[in-house]
Structure 1
Amino acid sequence: MRDRTKAVRERGFTDHVLVCTNGRDSEYAACADAHGPAVYDAVREWLRDRDVFWSHVHVAETSCLGLCSADGTAVAVHPRNRWYSDVRPGEVPELLRAEFGEDASRLGVETANNRE
């Protein structure tokens, strides 16, 4: 096992957005059927438009985050420790503006949102 924390931070990485795209053959809701892939694409687009995608903010598709809903997708933002459910693609800009600022200038900083 190698601790790569220092190397990742030195490259400028500050935040991580996790988007559930989990699907399952079940009677229960899953993010894949609740706009998961479209939310993932919207997150990447918003970050790319601000030139921080994979330079400062990493984005990952995940399996279940435990916030399943037929109304939208589960998203987590770390290290801010923020968790969202029922996210639809059109709500991604509002969510990311609230977390990172309009121009993504609030990266890697503690905000009132992550102390709750």
Structure 2
Amino acid sequence: MKDRTDQQRERLEAFVFVCTNERDSEYACCGDVGADETLAAIKDWLRERNAFWSPVGVSTTGCLGLCSEGGTAITIQPEDVWYSDITPEEVPDLLAEAFGPDADRIATTRSTP
């Protein structure tokens, strides 16, 4: 086992987790309401600003407990902010609010451990 905590803390300022949960149920889930498209929009926005993977990581996750028919659930960590009902069209405004329009506020948004 290798503890890589320090390495990741140096490399990443924030992490965006996108729910892509799918389930066979009568209830809405993110996988059925555009999660893949929302994930792509997040990655594209960050790539355009040279902020994808360093300093912002993006990953899919199972259910965040915020599923709805209105869109995808995401969380940005370590800022501890949670969103539901996100559509791909809303991603630019959401990320600009979180990180600045040019992703220039990424380093300043990180909470201290």
Measure how far apart 1:29 and its partner are.
0.5
**CA deviation profile, 1:19-61 (whole Å, cap 9, x unmatched):** 0011111000000111111000000000000001011100001
1:64-103 equivalence runs, <5 A = 64-103=63-102
Distance 1:3 1:31 in 2: 32
Unaligned runs of 5+ in 2: none
Gaps of 5+ in 1: none
Runs of 4+, deviation exceeding 4 Å: none
Aligned length: 111
1:18 partner SS: strand
Q: 1:22-37 to 2 correspondence within 5 Å? A: 22-37=21-36
Output the CA distance in 1 between the equivalents of 2:8 and 2:31: 30
Q: Cα RMSD (Å) of the superposition? A: 1.4
Instruction: Report the Cα distance in structure 1 between the residues aligned to 2:81 and 2:53, rounded to whole angstroms.
Output: 19
TM norm structure 1? 0.90
CA contact (8 A) 2:99 2:109 kept: no
Native 8 Å contact 2:33 2:70 kept in 1: yes
TM-score, scaled to structure 2: 0.92
By how many angstroms is 1:3 displaced? Answer: 2.9
User: 1:79 deviation in Å?
Assistant: 0.4
Aligned to 1:7: 7
